[in-house]
């Protein structure tokens, strides 16, 4: 039945895939913590204006991809298509300017109504960091270095390339925008319909166009770096110098842009050729005008976001579940004792399970089915002596262990492999 299938563009994360996702988020969370980023969680939905303002009312995300609805109170709400806007809104709402600079890590689901494809779903998951309140170029270095360290922790850094560009300050962007408009105006008959609209509203977005005709024009468009003032050049020089000092290699990409006005200075992406057409695994940049645009105090910021699905695919690691201890009681007295035995093993930090019914053969079959590392066999005779038989299922060896030492004994034995 159609109504018993997941909605198109969504899917269930069953245990194996969930472990792969959890590995990405846990390693990222730990590495971000080492860099001083504390975790934050914002609501999955916000007032629509939070995203309409920050993403631009002409962007594809706003016009085509946002899941927007009116709630019972008449408010226009939107499931978050990204999380930077939500984090910045939280910065304003909670009066955090007095604590700036602040460093945040997040992990969670995002929602965009776009054509589902490999590594990109309508409900997808991202990790990300935001450093708010630091205008210095070393903040950019810190954010990029943290991203690189997370890729290293996942074992995928060598499969990625850091692409880097500068968007300059407001003066530089205005100078570049003027020559860009002149260039595309001379070729307006060859522009796509969407890009003709962008030309009057936000010409830099044309540089992001996926239209083949637009891309041919973009290839010959003026280069941003030719219009950078000295201050912008110095800022970018400090960023690249910091990356050089850390031994983080990068490739300059003059076509890497962010179309919205609140972006400035550093723009970057970690890309890969290992995932086919979907080559970006982590993307970020400096957004000094975003918090002011939302109505807060003018506050600098920089951050990045990365897709958990793509990172899990790129790493190719499918972690196995911890192998449990199977408690196999035989007889009513043993079943009652097994309840407290399983509890005590779990209190000791050991994964323990017991089948709910069946004879010895069925219970041992269950132990093998759940891939137990050992079976703790407990019958009337063992109970009378206060012991259990511990059988290692991989090699069939068996030994006797006192019940009051069982948790300690298994903790040591399993820690030693």
* C-beta separation of 313 from 364 below 8 A: no
Q: Is 82 annotated as a binding residue?
A: yes
Q: What span, in angstroms and rounded, lies between the C-alpha atoms of 247 and 291?
A: 32
Q: Is 263 annotated as a binding residue?
A: yes
CA angle 116-117-120, nearest 5°?
A: 80
Both structure tokens of 416: 């030693």
Both structure tokens of 238: 């400090």
Q: Is 258 annotated as a binding residue?
A: yes
Backbone angles phi, psi at 341, to 5 degrees: -65, -45
What is the Cβ-side half-sphere exposure of residue 303, based on CA atoms within 13 angstroms? Answer: 30
Cβ neighbours, 10 Å, residue 367: 25
Q: What span, in angstroms and rounded, lies between the C-alpha atoms of 10 and 5?
A: 10
Q: Is 112 annotated as a binding residue?
A: yes
From residue 115, give the alpha-carbon distance in Å to each of 9, 57, 109, 126, 172: 8, 20, 17, 18, 36
Cβ neighbours, 10 Å, residue 233: 14
Is omega for the bond preceding 72 within 30 degrees of 0, making it cis? no
Instruction: Kindly give the pairing relationship between strand 68-70 and strand 45-47.
Output: unpaired
Handedness of CA 166, 172, 178, 182 (dihedral sign): negative
Residues in the chain: 417
At 66 the three-state DSSP class reads coil
Q: What span, in angstroms and rounded, lies between the C-alpha atoms of 21 and 10?
A: 15
Q: Is 123 annotated as a binding residue?
A: no
Handedness of CA 401, 407, 410, 412 (dihedral sign): negative
Q: What span, in angstroms and rounded, lies between the C-alpha atoms of 51 and 47?
A: 8
Q: Is 68 annotated as a binding residue?
A: no
Question: What is the Cα gyration radius of the chain?
Answer: 28
Is omega for the bond preceding 232 within 30 degrees of 0, making it cis? no
Q: What span, in angstroms and rounded, lies between the C-alpha atoms of 328 and 353?
A: 9
Q: Is 136 annotated as a binding residue?
A: no
* C-beta separation of 116 from 8 below 8 A: yes
Residues tagged in the binding site annotation? 82-84, 112, 126, 130, 258, 262-263
Give the residue numbers of the binding site for L-histidine.
82-84, 112, 126, 130, 258, 262-263
């Amino acid at each position: 039945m159609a109504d018993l299938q997941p909605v198109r563009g969504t899917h269930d994360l069953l245990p194996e895939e969930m472990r792969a996702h959890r590995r990405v988020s846990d390693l990222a969370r730990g590495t971000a913590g080492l860099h001083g980023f504390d975790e934050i969680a914002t609501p999955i939905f916000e007032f629509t204006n939070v995203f309409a303002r920050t993403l631009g009312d002409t962007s594809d995300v706003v016009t085509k991809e946002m899941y927007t609805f009116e709630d019972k109170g008449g408010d226009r709400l939107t499931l978050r298509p990204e999380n930077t806007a939500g984090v910045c809104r939280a910065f304003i709402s909670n009066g955090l300017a007095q604590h700036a600079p602040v460093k945040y890590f997040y992990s969670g689901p995002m929602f965009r109504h776009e054509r589902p494809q490999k590594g990109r779903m309508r409900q997808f998951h991202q990790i990300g960091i935001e450093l708010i309140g630091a205008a210095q170029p070393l903040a950019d270095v810190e954010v990029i270095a943290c991203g690189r360290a997370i890729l290293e922790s996942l074992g995928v850094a060598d499969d990625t390339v850091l692409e880097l560009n500068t968007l300059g300050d407001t003066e530089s962007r205005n100078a570049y925008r003027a020559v860009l408009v002149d260039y595309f105006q001379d070729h307006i008959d060859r522009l796509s319909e969407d890009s003709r609209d962008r030309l009057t509203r936000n010409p830099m977005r044309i540089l992001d166009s996926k239209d083949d005709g637009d891309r041919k024009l973009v290839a010959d468009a003026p280069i941003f770096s030719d219009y950078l003032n000295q201050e912008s050049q110095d800022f970018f020089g400090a960023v690249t110098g910091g990356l050089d000092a850390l031994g983080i290699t990068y490739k300059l990409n003059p076509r890497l842009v962010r179309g919205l006005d609140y972006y400035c200075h550093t723009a970057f992406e970690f890309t890969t050729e290992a995932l086919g057409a979907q080559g970006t695994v982590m993307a970020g940049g400096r957004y000094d005008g975003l918090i002011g645009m939302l109505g807060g105090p003018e506050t600098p910021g920089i951050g990045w976001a990365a897709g958990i699905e793509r990172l899990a695919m790129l790493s190719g690691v499918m972690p196995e579940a911890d192998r449990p201890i199977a408690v196999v009681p035989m007889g009513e007295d043993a079943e009652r004792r097994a309840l407290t035995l399983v509890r005590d093993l779990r209190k000791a930090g050991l994964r323990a399970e017991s089948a709910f019914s069946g004879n010895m053969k069925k219970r041992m079959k269950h132990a093998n089915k759940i891939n137990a590392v050992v079976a703790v066999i407990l019958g009337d005779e063992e109970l009378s002596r206060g012991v259990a038989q511990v059988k290692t299922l991989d090699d069939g060896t068996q030994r006797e262990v006192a019940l009051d030492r069982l948790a300690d004994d298994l903790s040591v034995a399993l820690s030693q492999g």
